Chains A and B, each alone.
Chain A
Amino acid sequence: MSATPLLSVRGLRKHFPITGGVLAREVARVHAVDGVSFDIAEGETLGLVGESGCGKSTTGRCILRLIEPSGGEVLFRGQDVTRLDRKALRALRRDMQIIFQDPFASLNPRHTVGGIIGEALEIHNIGKTRAEREARIVELLETVGLRPDHMRRFPHEFSGGQRQRIGIARALAVEPRLIICDEPVSALDVSIQAQVINLLEDLQERFNLTYLFIAHDLSVVEHISDRVAVMYLGRVMEIAPSRELYDNPRHPYTEALLSAVPIPDPRIKRKRIMLQGDVPSPINPPSGCHFHPRCPIAEKHCSQEAPSLRETSPGHWVSCHVRG
């Protein structure tokens, strides 16, 4: 890690109010993201894993301010994103982009591919003439492995993998530093997943991109990430370099998660750690450590006090009273 991280998230929180009654008063809150902190260095890929509903995507969208965070700081190159006014935010959009999960929902069905990619250029006045913009669109299409004549086609004429490439080209159009990949391969066939992942890795090398890679597929994350953060119910449980996390998980939740990854060899038997019960509701998260009701090694004070992230070995941060 370099001295100053490109992106630094500090105590990020997002609470969605639930309103009810005639006067639409707030009756409860969904604690989607509940104090998340991490850093990403320039050129690095941080994997963000966790099961559905743990706040991974909300975290990603809060960083971009597609959702307004309820609290905390998001420092991009030392500048607090959460406090930017509209104009400054617009300028920031050139530095931070997002790739979406669903390649079918993320492209406007009424625009051509050229229009979709060109929109970024139009908004930010990149390229003065039409010909200049068109040349840039062609260049982007070729960068992501599509043909120039695809420009005049509509999104529905493409396969899922091709559409995801279009989404990537759109994100690249503004030459961002950081790209938030919100489960970019979850909706694709396994064979296509590899292609898209390889493309993302090539692009990272070529343009020195920084990724926040959100996923629930642990093997995909292991492959692409330099470091991995594990989330559970809106909080980060463990952050460690990728290899270290997979070889030597310290948090009991990470252990359970990793034991669920299938091994392609049927002869190898592994001890599955079966967690009891379901993920508690983020409306009423458990007191203390969010994981304590399901934790196999929970102790008394786990239910009273929330643990904070502690560095157990260099670069390996764990949020656990027992193992930390």
Chain B
Amino acid sequence: MAGLTPASISADLPGAAAEGQSKPVSRTLDAWRRFRRHRLAVVGLVVLSIIVFGVVFGKLLWPTPMSAIDFSASLAPPSVAHPFGTDDLGHDLLARMIFGGRISLAVGLAAMLVAVGLGVLVGAIAGTAAGRVDTFLMWLTDLFLALPQLPLLLLIIYLFRDTLVRLFGEEGGIFLIVVVVIGALRWMSIARIVRAQFFSLREKEFVEAARALGASRLREVVHHMLPNTLGPLIVAATIEIANAIIAESTLSFLGLGFPPDVPTWGRLLYDGRNYLDLAPQWAIFPGMAIFLTVLSISFLGDGLRDAFDPRRVL
């Protein structure tokens, strides 16, 4: 526990005792109190809330249709009529970003959940089973890491896109395939983190103590090992959201993700790159949106990690 200061070593001091007798606070409330002390995390939460609010309710506040074409205002810089400017066809960029943001955020979050889910599953099984199972799962992980991802993406999407679109509709089907494909190609680092943590936790005496008390394997994992993996896991998960948002834009760029008329942030960024000199706002605003989202999620992750770590003094 190097680098951590004990909160109160003096449990017998009169002051500490008085504090101990004060009204017990609930765990969640205490975590919230600790979270608020983390200034950057609070800023992250506020920024992210604004972005999410804007994306969900922005349509009501900014009713300009996203596909209204206005050639007279093509490539216009930010103005009162078009706060974020327009693209080459005169689409209002703010309206497009409000719509695209929903998809970008949803893809980022869902793909992260898929990646974390798969990663924790593989990592936890490898980390507890050890031996041959572990060797096999790590081979699998290395295999996935070594796969050339782009050709694979191409293949998977060509193979399954039509079927899924038929089953779940245009947007639903593509959303599903994008999320699953991104998630399924990004679980490896999480699996490795979880496995490594489990390897060290498995030898810890408190896990041995649980075993000595008669705890089942499942209980050991759920009550003792996973909670102590939370710190690195939260950090990795926030990075995964960022990665997924960017990966989705790559897919859209290659014409494999959402159709070109669905303006996800990544798509806007790629479309705008040809006009950096004429209309920098086309790339800057979606770029800023991705950047701010990723950054605020990352700070939020730091704050959550610290708030839920009882050893940390806040």
Q: How far is the CA of A108 from the CA of B219 in the complex (A)?
A: 13
Stretch at the interface among A2-10, A96-104, A279-287, A315-323: A96-104
Most buried by B among A98, A107, A156: A156
Interface string of A86-118 (1 = CB under 8 A from B): 000110011001101110111111110000000
Q: Does A157 contact B (CB under 8 A)?
A: yes
Q: Does A170 contact B (CB under 8 A)?
A: yes
Q: How far is the CA of A174 from the CA of B213 in the complex (A)?
A: 8
Q: Does B210 contact A (CB under 8 A)?
A: yes
Stretch at the interface among B5-13, B62-70, B73-81: B5-13
Q: How far is the CA of A8 from the CA of B1 in the complex (A)?
A: 39
Q: How far is the CA of A153 from the CA of B213 in the complex (A)?
A: 21
- Known A104-B1, A156-B7, A157-B6; judge A149-B212 contact (CB<8 A): no
Determine the interface band of chain A, counting residues with CB < 8 A from chain B. Answer: 35 or more
Could you tell me which residues of chain A, from 40 to 94, have a CB within 8 Å of some CB in chain B? 61, 64, 66, 89-90, 93-94
Stretch at the interface among A28-36, A119-127, A262-270, A306-314: A119-127
Q: Does B227 contact A (CB under 8 A)?
A: yes
B20 touches A120 (CB 8 A): no
Q: Does B311 contact A (CB under 8 A)?
A: yes
Q: Does A162 contact B (CB under 8 A)?
A: yes
A64 touches B212 (CB 8 A): yes
List the B residue with the shortest CB-CB distance to A121.
B213
Q: Does A223 contact B (CB under 8 A)?
A: no
Q: Does B50 contact A (CB under 8 A)?
A: no
Q: Does A158 contact B (CB under 8 A)?
A: yes
Q: Does B205 contact A (CB under 8 A)?
A: yes
- Known A123-B215, A124-B214, A152-B24; judge A105-B7 contact (CB<8 A): no
| In the complex, chain B residues whose CB is within 8 Å of the CB of A100 | 205, 208-209
| In the complex, chain B residues whose CB is within 8 Å of the CB of A136 | none
Q: How far is the CA of A152 from the CA of B23 in the complex (A)?
A: 11
Least Cβ–Cβ distance between B159 and chain A, in angstroms: 36
Which secondary structure dominates chain A's binding surface?
loop
- Contact among B206, B219, B309 with A107 in the assembled complex (CB-CB below 8 Å): B206
| In the complex, chain A residues whose CB is within 8 Å of the CB of B311 | 109, 154, 156
A157 touches B228 (CB 8 A): no
Q: How far is the CA of A136 from the CA of B212 in the complex (A)?
A: 20
B212 touches A98 (CB 8 A): yes
Q: How far is the CA of A162 from the CA of B212 in the complex (A)?
A: 21
- Known A104-B1, A156-B7, A159-B9; judge A119-B210 contact (CB<8 A): yes
Q: How far is the CA of A162 from the CA of B6 in the complex (A)?
A: 14
Q: Does B172 contact A (CB under 8 A)?
A: no
Could you tell me which residues of chain B, from 3 to 27, have a CB within 8 Å of some CB in chain A? 4, 6-9, 11, 20-21, 24
Interface string of B210-233 (1 = CB under 8 A from A): 111111000100011001100000
Q: How far is the CA of A28 from the CA of B214 in the complex (A)?
A: 32
B206 touches A120 (CB 8 A): no
| In the complex, chain A residues whose CB is within 8 Å of the CB of B6 | 156-157
- Known A149-B20, A153-B20, A162-B11; judge A109-B310 contact (CB<8 A): yes
B228 touches A110 (CB 8 A): yes
Least Cβ–Cβ distance between A185 and chain B, in angstroms: 15
A sample of 7 inter-chain contacts (CB < 8 A) reads A93-B214, A100-B205, A100-B208, A106-B205, A108-B224, A110-B310, A157-B6
Q: Please give 8 more A-B residue pairs, beta carbons under 8 A apart, in addition to A108-B228, A123-B215, A157-B11.
A: A100-B209, A105-B204, A106-B205, A108-B224, A110-B227, A120-B213, A123-B213, A156-B310
A residues with CB within 8 A of B = 61, 64, 66, 89-90, 93-94, 97-98, 100-102, 104-111, 119-120, 123-124, 147, 149-150, 152-154, 156-159, 162, 167, 170, 173-174
Q: Top 8 A-B pairs ranked by shortest CB distance? A: A93-B214, A106-B205, A154-B310, A90-B214, A108-B206, A105-B205, A100-B205, A110-B227
